[in-house]
Amino acid sequence: MKKLTLVFLSAGLFLSSCNMEKKAETTTEVNPFFTEWNTPMGTAPFSKIKNEHYMPAFKKALAELADEVKAIAENKEAPTFENTIAALDKRGPLLRKVSGVFYNLKSADTNDEINNIAKEVSPLMSKSEDDIWMNDALWKRVKALYEKKDDLGLNQEQANLLDKTYKGFVRSGANLGEDDKAKLRKVNEELSLNFLKFGENVLTETNAFQMFIDKKEDLAGLPESVVIGAAEAAKEAGQEGKWLFTTQKPSMIPFLQYAENRDLRKKLYDAYLNRGNNGNANDNKEVIKKIVALNIQKANLLGFETPADYLLDNRMSKKPENVFALLDKLWKPALDVAKQERKEMQQIINEEGGKFKLAAHDWWYYAEKLKVKKYNLDENMLRPYFKLENVVDGAFKVAEKLYGLKFIPRTDIEPYHKEVKVYELQEANGKHIGIFYVDYFPRASKRGGAWMNSYRKQWKPDGKEVTPIICNVCNFSKPVGDKPALLSFDEVSTLFHEFGHALHGFLSNTSYYTTSGTSVARDFVELPSQIMENWAADEQVLKMFAKHYETGEVIPDELIQKLKNAGHFNQGFATTEYLAASLLDMKYHTLKSAEGLDVEKFENETLKAYGLIPEIYSRYKSTYFQHIFTGGYSAGYYSYIWAEVLDADAFDAFKEKGIFNKELATSFRENVLSKGGTEDPMVLYKKFRGQEPSIDPLLAKRGLN
């Protein structure tokens, strides 16, 4: 009987196994990543993509990539640019397809399942990258070509791609011995997992804090639109009849600006500052220590004294001392202005009979009062003129006047979320350029901040044009009650900023994937974005899009003048908090050892040594500083101010010749936006400007001269 049972069990297991194989085959057949997307412009069919499709797609894509790389490395023919460098540039089409969707959604519309998949995929991706960069046979082919690069008859883009590829191998450990390669692989894997952990912790902490208010008197000072928005948020959270405020900036900043209840301002701001620093499962201090230690180990393995030395080696700045020189040049004038701002705000407190010293959680509140006092300008006077749809239209019109672009709404292209809108970009003659997803409102499934990314980059494999698919993702003020989304001027500037990044991706005109669009030095990539902010504040442009959402009235000259008069307002604070974060970033990445690192103590002592006043915190405290602890801007947060030197100088040229001067716009498009990473960034800048940039326009722009 037992024997018979075993036979039946075995048969059952066999049938079960067969069924699983059939199920797997079926899954493979319907997995949308394994089919051609017969959608407009090859856009992703988001509704057909399920979470269970990702892992099979990643595994197949990584296996295909491994086979492709093996074929290149083991090619019996002598290495040529085409069979080695260009072939590597084309690698992994399926992986690029899967990653383009997965990682964009992980940032913009994630869930627990996606986060768990990311943890599973991360070490596989890390291993795959290392398998390429540490492949000896492949490295020998690349090195052989590099050593005779001057005899290959390459054009500028090809020469730059060869140079990037060669340096990519060197910087990824190709010259290391086997023991050190094994160590580097381990470091890369652990870094990728810790970057993920850091970001997940910040998102969890941001979503976890909710400040419900149940007394109407605690809302004193808040504009009606903010109160209505908070009531709607509370209702969505299941607490109808109350008002909800969170550490998402569109919720937090208006509360800090207008709420008269000082204790609640402190409660909310403290919650924001302490994200990732609450001694719970989401605390990031130990994660930071691991990341810092791993970064040092990686830099040392690759022959660099500190992570900053390694990371800056292929940027415009080249060395840490060059970054510190710029930051130090700006620090004292910015801090002096901030101290004057503090003095003026304390005077208001004293005049109102307050018996307390200005604190960090008071800054927004008294800055708003000071702005009204000095310039008779209240942010709520501006918001009615900055309806989101009008601001978007304004950005599009600037691009049209500069570059002849057209933006066509595409309701036939499926978005990944109901709040996302889709546009097609065309040249003035109707030629298709690319597809643009815009996603502007905060939600629990989206990380904080604002960014541009690509689902597909522009390039020309074998001469065939591949057009870009790009997204702008932000966290702006949502529609409230019967009112549309009305933006602050800061949000207007952010929209133009991210739109500038998008134009950099869209107007790319390169042959190779590796050199396309925003694939440039980290401290050059912010030039196309930051220069767009200048148009957002220009009087001529404001009159194009700043129209009252109810009456359609164009923003009056008086209000524009007030905005212009207040242009340098609070710049001491804004510059100082930014520079503090940049300095903190550089100090972490110039550490030579992480032994005994106490994150809070290190942060406090670093900023105290620079004389940062207690009323201002670093724009990002360590435990939620995602720019530098999730891998993107490590030793690179300074890039914004570095690029601002370029953008202020570049916009001076437009002010001299006309902000819509066609000749200048064409030069900027051809020499900066279209070139991607095909040439040295300073060479590109000088081709546009005719000279190296001066820091003077930046100092004047920020009122620090």
Residue type, 370: L
- Burial status of residue 310 (CB atoms within 10 A of its CB: 0-12, 13-18, 19 or more): buried
Q: What is the Cα–Cα distance from 680 to 691, expressed in whole angstroms?
A: 14
Alpha-carbon separation of residue 336 from 341, 392, 581, 617, 704 (angstroms): 9, 36, 17, 16, 9
Under the banding of pLDDT at 50, 70 and 90, the label for residue 6 is very low
Alpha-carbon separation of residue 122 from 17, 182, 632 (angstroms): 29, 17, 15
Q: What percent of the chain has pLDDT above 70?
A: 96
Q: What is the Cα–Cα distance from 257 to 361, expressed in whole angstroms?
A: 10
User: Which tens digits make up the pLDDT trace of 381-391?
Assistant: 999 999 999 99
pLDDT score for 13: 35
User: Which tens digits make up the pLDDT trace of 145-201?
Assistant: 999 999 999 999 999 999 999 999 999 999 999 999 999 999 999 999 999 999 999
Interval 254-273 mean pLDDT: 98
pLDDT score for 703: 86
User: Which tens digits make up the pLDDT trace of 626-674?
Assistant: 999 997 899 999 999 999 999 999 999 999 999 999 999 999 999 999 9
Report the mean per-residue pLDDT for the chain: 94
- In the predicted model, is pLDDT for residue 242 greater than 60? yes
Q: What percent of the chain has pLDDT above 90?
A: 93
User: Which tens digits make up the pLDDT trace of 293-321?
Assistant: 999 999 999 999 999 999 999 999 999 99
pLDDT score for 1: 34
Interval 318-334 mean pLDDT: 96
Q: What is the Cα–Cα distance from 198 to 623, expressed in whole angstroms?
A: 8
pLDDT score for 24: 41
User: Which tens digits make up the pLDDT trace of 563-607?
Assistant: 999 999 999 999 999 999 999 999 999 999 999 999 999 999 999
- In the predicted model, is pLDDT for residue 704 greater than 90? no
Residue type, 169: F
pLDDT score for 254: 96
Which residue's structure tokens are 């990044």? 501
User: Which tens digits make up the pLDDT trace of 500-536?
Assistant: 999 999 999 999 999 999 999 999 999 999 999 999 9
Under the banding of pLDDT at 50, 70 and 90, the label for residue 30 is confident
Residues labelled as active-site residues: 498
Q: What is the Cα–Cα distance from 421 to 600, expressed in whole angstroms?
A: 42
Q: What is the Cα–Cα distance from 340 to 370, expressed in whole angstroms?
A: 12
Task: Quote the pTM value.
Answer: 0.92
Interval 416-423 mean pLDDT: 98
User: Which tens digits make up the pLDDT trace of 117-149?
Assistant: 999 999 999 999 999 999 999 999 999 999 999
pLDDT score for 274: 98
Q: What is the Cα–Cα distance from 337 to 298, expressed in whole angstroms?
A: 40
Residue type, 686: K
Q: What is the Cα–Cα distance from 674 to 552, expressed in whole angstroms?
A: 37
Under the banding of pLDDT at 50, 70 and 90, the label for residue 29 is low
